[in-house]
A and B are shown apart, each in its own frame.
Chain A
Amino acid sequence: QSALTQPASVSGSPGQSITISCTGTSSDVGGYDFVSWHQQHPDKAPRLMVYDVSYRPSGVSNRFSGSKSGNTASLTISGLQAEDEATYYCISYTRSAALVFGGGTKLTVL
């Protein structure tokens, strides 16, 4: 179970759009539509932002959207706001009936 690969950091200005990638293999991201994204602010519990690749839970802004192509899933945040500054983690179901997180991406809103 190797961790999924995410960029360590991304940044954007308010109002802009950014995309965070999450790369795995055909045994995890590429093999199942069970990829979720979680947002974590410092010293807070994580919050679910997207599940099953592209579905948003109730209460999550439609500025957050998810997609997948091959072995890479992506989270796009449009209309960046200051409160979006946080660390984002992807997680995927794997062929061995386990789950694996990405290393996390720190988003800075400039």
Chain B
Amino acid sequence: EVQLVESGGGVERPGGSLRLSCAASGFTFDDFGMSWVRQVPGKGLEWVSGINWNGVSTGYADSVKGRFTISRDNAKNSLYLQMNSLRGEDTALYHCARDTLGIRGAFDIWGQGTMVTVSS
């Protein structure tokens, strides 16, 4: 079964750090670009960051640029998001998503998400 499973969310104080992970299974991971997308409960989707199949090309939303770092380990079929200098507005459900064609927004597989709460 094609599947993405996120982990690593939790409660962190402003200024703190968290590292999210996304475990992929059921498909050839290094054939696809990947992204992180977040959603505040009851609100819309926000693209956070994306990475191409081999990790050479990455992109970030302005709201996280310089604070978050996306990476992948194709040998472990895993995607990561290192989140530093966390702010209250980073509180959201974070999904990883498979992009059919590099970093283009064609997310055909989504994980169920991991919740991040930034609060003092």
Which A residues lie at the B interface, using CB under 8 A?
1, 3, 34-36, 38, 40, 45-48, 51-52, 57, 87, 89, 91-93, 96-104
Contact = CB atoms under 8 A, between A and B. Distances in A.
Given A1-B62, A36-B107, A38-B107, A52 B45 contact: no
Contact of B106 (A40, A48, A97, A102): A48
Interface of B: 35, 37, 44-47, 50, 57, 59-62, 95, 100-101, 103-108, 110-113
B44 A101 contact: yes
B43 to A, nearest CB: 8
Main secondary structure of the interface of A (DSSP, over half): strand
Contacts of B44: 3, 87, 89, 101-104
B103 A93 contact: yes
Given A36-B105, A52-B101, A89 B45 contact: yes
10 contacts: A3-B44, A36-B104, A36-B105, A38-B45, A89-B44, A93-B105, A97-B57, A99-B105, A102-B44, A103-B44
Contacts of B110: 45-47
